[in-house]
Structure 1
């Protein structure tokens, strides 16, 4: 009698994979030395990041700056592009529906989805199907939910090569099929007794499973990438959702799609999990460096401002210009830091010192922090 495979792969990429195996997967698929060595490196990097992030007095510096860049990078993976200036300007205005391009709006909705999903989990304490539907609706500004039974989605080869446009994967089809597989994923995420015990391994497996289910008409990649960070905060590896893998995926985009396909076509979980663990390792160390660079830049500027002796509450002023790359007078007045004239005078003085660049865009004045933008863009 032939030996049963450890994982039942997709027999036909042109047919909906309704036989996508439920979780958990067989532990033999990921229990090997190479994976656990890389897991150790990723956990070390996560520990560095977690320790550094909680030591920052003003968490808004991380919350706004890093999540904005993630929103831009993750959307770029799906070919939704905007410029840094357009994004930062629109975010600083807090009026996303006025004179804002469609791609910029979509990027800002992604950022909103990160925080609404985070708040949802804090309120409900666990993942559920509505968590995924809410993320999708926020990102896509949609009202529908799980794909209806008649909707068939195909994943096609990207690029311009000879195989461009070729169908490489067909996700499961049928509303009840999708709901059953999503509920299985929810149970896997919420139940710590279901192996693997290591949260980073569980995150990697869950990310593949969500992308394979592909429950929505669009936006599945972005929902899946938000799931990554929300799972890590739920598992208490991080206090805040500040570890985002999109930059790594952009830099290793073909490998991302190749290793995803490797699981469905060959049952190659090892390559996929190693890819995600390397992404976590690299991204955690990069984010750790960015935090240090932001704090160093902030302290250097604060020293220069304090030497001027012409500013009240200089520490709070410099904190404010590091919350996001574009600062407006209203940001300082809304925070009750200064009266309007004082806020304007101080920002103009920072412009004269070369700390920020004053810009007028469509009749509005913005003060751009080049140091912060440069750190975030790296």
Structure 2
């Protein structure tokens, strides 16, 4: 199979009229979702579990098997025994770190190829792929296919490296340009990035990370808290097929854009329901915890279990918003007795008990 030669952007063959009804639906559902985001009183707390879920799902598409619970248990000091599971978690933690870094940088100076390289370096730092030149655009030919396949057996061969600088510059120019519709533009941005496959590893995760960053930078979202990995994982075959057909079959770009817009619409609806459920849970416990604990520390404790839904008492001891260690133990015991926290692992000797905020975890993983 020969290296693919992509079309330059902007595309000339998009049939806009069939897309108009779906474009309208996407605008409405995402506007409703962003209105909800703007009404969250403490988004860094309430949205924190969703960032971890996105990191898990985007990495899962690339073959990792760790769950959100695995990652949160690791955050709570419970490292997995299996070496492969620990490697999975390290990749997921890098993805989460890259997402948070990207939000800060985009807010300060906008998107650039330099930021893309920074994110790639974070993704591959000290994990599988660390030998794939983190942060550097590839200078060798790569291909996409089953493990162990040769270039001749590949499902897709991206452009040859000598053409990459030209096509990447064109892609960045298109990213920064003003187009008739944000969401159609984003569909093309994401697909063209996957076609270019500009790095030796990590292209899929970076391509999915671009979705919230673009919408945030363009002001469509007030926070980059919208992720498509759940939809792409659920429709993995359609996602991969749609990308592979681009530039090779008539009407493929319109079919891809239709698929992408449908993904945004469905995920925005699902995320709206999920965030509403999280906010409802938070508001309910904001009423219950003070009455349950009779403590001035009820609200700081509530915020902490939302931010870290799997934890040990010792993690709270160093928090300046928390009381003494005996009082922390007493507060957690009351939450456990009320069924708000459950025990994942009992304490033994110097090992503390691991507790989980099960209702929040269930909401986030739904």
Query: If the length of structure 2 is used for normalisation, what is the TM-score?
Result: 0.88
Q: Tell me if 1:22 matches 2:3.
A: no
Query: In 2 relative to 1, CA 66–368 (structure 1 residues): closer, same or farther, beyond 3 Å?
Result: same
- Corresponding position of 1:368: 356
> CA–CA distance in 1 between the matches of 2:15 and 2:196?
21
Task: Compute the RMSD of aligned alpha carbons.
Answer: 2.4
Q: Tell me if 1:154 matches 2:111.
A: no
> CA–CA distance in 1 between the matches of 2:283 and 2:46?
16
> CA–CA distance in 1 between the matches of 2:52 and 2:11?
34
Query: In 2 relative to 1, CA 360–301 (structure 1 residues): closer, same or farther, beyond 3 Å?
Result: same
Structure 1 residue 70, shift from structure 2 partner = 0.4
Query: In 2 relative to 1, CA 186–93 (structure 1 residues): closer, same or farther, beyond 3 Å?
Result: farther
Mapping of residues 1-378 of structure 1, within 5 Å: 14-17=1-4, 19-26=5-12, 28-33=13-18, 35-93=19-77, 101-125=86-110, 127-141=111-125, 142=130, 143-149=133-139, 151-156=140-145, 166-174=153-161, 176-192=162-178, 196-267=179-250, 268-308=252-292, 310-329=294-313, 330-331=315-316, 333-360=318-345, 363-378=351-366
3-state SS of paired residue (1:263): coil
CA contact (8 A) 2:216 2:222 kept: yes
Structure 1 residue 296, shift from structure 2 partner = 1.6
> CA–CA distance in 2 between the matches of 1:30 and 1:337?
58
Query: In 2 relative to 1, CA 181–117 (structure 1 residues): closer, same or farther, beyond 3 Å?
Result: same
CA contact (8 A) 1:128 1:183 kept: no
> CA–CA distance in 2 between the matches of 1:94 and 1:113?
23
- Corresponding position of 1:4: none
> CA–CA distance in 2 between the matches of 1:222 and 1:21?
23
Query: In 2 relative to 1, CA 116–371 (structure 1 residues): closer, same or farther, beyond 3 Å?
Result: same
3-state SS of paired residue (1:282): helix
Structure 1 residue 187, shift from structure 2 partner = 1.2
CA contact (8 A) 2:14 2:254 kept: yes
Query: In 2 relative to 1, CA 30–235 (structure 1 residues): closer, same or farther, beyond 3 Å?
Result: farther
CA contact (8 A) 2:293 2:334 kept: no
Structure 1 residue 148, shift from structure 2 partner = 4.1
> CA–CA distance in 2 between the matches of 1:184 and 1:94?
46
5+ residue gaps in structure 2? Answer: none
Query: If the length of structure 1 is used for normalisation, what is the TM-score?
Result: 0.86
For residues 140-195 of structure 1, give each alpha carbon's deviation from its aligned partner in whole angstroms, at most 9, with x where no partner exists: 2145444543x22111268xxxxxx9422100112x42122112111111122xxx
Query: In 2 relative to 1, CA 49–148 (structure 1 residues): closer, same or farther, beyond 3 Å?
Result: closer
> CA–CA distance in 2 between the matches of 1:322 and 1:223?
27
CA contact (8 A) 1:30 1:269 kept: no
For residues 64-92 of structure 1, give each alpha carbon's deviation from its aligned partner in whole angstroms, at most 9, with x where no partner exists: 11110000011110111103322112234
> CA–CA distance in 1 between the matches of 2:98 and 2:293?
42
Q: How many residues align?
A: 349
Structure 1 residue 304, shift from structure 2 partner = 2.9
CA contact (8 A) 2:7 2:247 kept: no
